């Protein structure tokens, strides 16, 4: 990342932090729901679980089709397998970007 891009991202984060600080406080139930559902780590984990479910579904459909299940069509199995493949490739690219960003941050001179 270039220096102007880093500065822009930093300004955006500071603006969001200011907005969050000026917002009304949440009640206990709302706060626990917001913490449980929000955050980068939670979203990353949910995405990985979605990718895993897609792969498991595609694999089970392929096995059922190979076993001769009359309720499955080949095109449905192939579409689900392609969805699984695209989701996995997207997850892989996100991981590569995260590793690259981590390396950039670690190589910054303070």
Residue 5: predicted pLDDT: 73
- Pick the closest to residue 5 from 99, 91, 101 (CA basis): 101
Residue 97: predicted pLDDT: 95
Domain positions in the chain: 38-109
CA distance 109 to 90: 31
What is the residue-averaged pLDDT of the chain? 83
CA distance 56 to 49: 10
Q: What is the pTM of this model?
A: 0.60
Which segment of 20-34, 66-80, 86-100 scores lowest on mean pLDDT?
20-34
Residue 13: predicted pLDDT: 73
- Pick the closest to residue 87 from 62, 52, 63 (CA basis): 52
CA distance 36 to 42: 8
């Amino acid at each position: 990342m270039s220096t102007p891009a880093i500065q822009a991202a930093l300004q955006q984060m500071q603006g969001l932090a200011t907005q969050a600080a000026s917002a009304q406080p949440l009640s206990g139930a709302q706060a626990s729901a917001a913490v449980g559902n929000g955050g980068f780590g939670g979203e990353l984990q949910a995405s990985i679980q979605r990718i895993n479910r897609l792969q498991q579904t595609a694999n089970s459909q392929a096995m059922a089709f190979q076993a001769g299940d009359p309720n499955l069509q080949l095109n449905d199995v192939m579409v689900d397998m392609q969805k699984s493949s695209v989701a996995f490739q997207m997850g892989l690219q996100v991981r590569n970007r995260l590793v690259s960003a981590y390396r950039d941050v670690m190589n910054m001179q303070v």
